[in-house]
């Protein structure tokens, strides 16, 4: 099996790469590339996200054919894809970080700034928060409810269809932590920085 981590921006994704390689060991081949032909041949994709929504979307579009290839992979061929942090947020129709930016439109919704209630809650939201698992998601197999995950973000994905939400956390409001829609999975938290529980989520995705 080949799992490709899409390396499309200058953001530091070394922790994602290292965690997937640690969990995969020799069972699965982990490729890190933006090569469209290699992506097409992959069994599963990981879409990390470092930086702003606008910068990540623009970085995807800067690589000729990449967005079309991702659409073909996830929407047409319905192969498993995991988006992490901004990688999840890009599933949305539109994001409002820096300026209004069109997303991939895979899961209808928007990405907007967390309501910090006039400074009552610090932004960016950095640190460990418990997640409330609200849907029996495949990537949460053997994960206990209220497990702690590591977050770094100021913006949240607000999907139109609440049925895609698989977990939330309480930070000012109920912030969406993860989604599952058929073959498309996403986590707002960083599984690669969430200790053994996060590695288990990575393992669950690898074993889908």
**SS3 annotation, 140-195:** HCCCCCCCEEEEEECEEEEECCHHHEEEEEEECEEEEEEEEECCEEEECCCHHHCH
Structure tokens, 120: 């009552």
Single out the catalytic residue among 56, 97, 180, 190: 190
Whether residue 177 lies in the annotated active site: no
Whether residue 125 lies in the annotated active site: no
Single out the catalytic residue among 85, 125, 156, 177: 85
Whether residue 56 lies in the annotated active site: no
Is 10 a residue whose pLDDT tops 80? no
Beta 148-153 vs 125-130: how paired, if at all? antiparallel
Residue-wise pLDDT for 59-115, tens only, equals: 999 999 999 999 999 999 999 999 999 999 999 999 999 999 999 999 999 999 998
Mean pLDDT score, 166-183: 95
Single out the catalytic residue among 97, 156, 180, 192: 192
Q: Work out the angle at residue 39's Cα, subtended by the Cα atoms of residues 33 and 43, and round it to the nearest 5 degrees.
A: 120
Is 143 a residue whose pLDDT tops 80? yes
* Global confidence as pTM: 0.97
Domain 2-206 has CATH 3.40.50.880: yes
Give the separation between CA 19 and CA 23, rounded to whole angstroms.
6
Give the separation between CA 178 and CA 100, rounded to whole angstroms.
23
How high is the pLDDT of residue 169? 96
Asked if residue 32 lies in contact with residue 4, where contact means CB atoms within 8 angstroms, the answer is yes
Tell me which of 85-89, 103-107, 116-120, 146-150 is least confident: 116-120
Q: Is the backbone of residue 155 left (phi > 0), alpha (psi -120 to 50) or beta?
A: beta
Q: What's the chain's average pLDDT?
A: 95
Give the separation between CA 25 and CA 6, rounded to whole angstroms.
19
């Amino acid at each position: 099996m080949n799992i490709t981590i899409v390396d499309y921006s200058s953001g530091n994704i070394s922790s994602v790469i290292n965690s997937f390689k640690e969990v995969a060991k020799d069972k699965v081949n982990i490729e890190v590339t933006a090569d469209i032909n290699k992506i097409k041949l992959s069994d599963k994709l990981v879409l990390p996200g470092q930086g702003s929504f606008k910068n990540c979307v623009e970085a995807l579009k800067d690589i000729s054919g990449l967005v079309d290839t991702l659409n073909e992979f996830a929407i047409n061929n319905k192969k498993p894809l995991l988006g992490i942090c901004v990688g999840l947020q890009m599933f949305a129709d539109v994001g409002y970080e820096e300026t209004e930016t069109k997303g991939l439109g895979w899961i209808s919704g928007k990405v907007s700034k967390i309501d910090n209630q006039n400074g009552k809650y610090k932004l960016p939201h950095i640190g460990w928060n418990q997640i409330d698992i609200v849907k029996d998601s495949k990537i949460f197999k053997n994960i206990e409810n209220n497990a702690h995950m590591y977050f770094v973000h100021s913006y949240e994905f607000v999907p139109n269809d609440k049925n895609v939400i698989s977990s939330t956390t309480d930070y000012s409001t109920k912030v969406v932590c993860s989604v599952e829609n058929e073959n498309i999975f996403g986590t707002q938290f960083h599984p690669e920085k969430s200790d053994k529980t996060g590695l288990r989520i990575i393992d669950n995705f690898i074993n889908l």
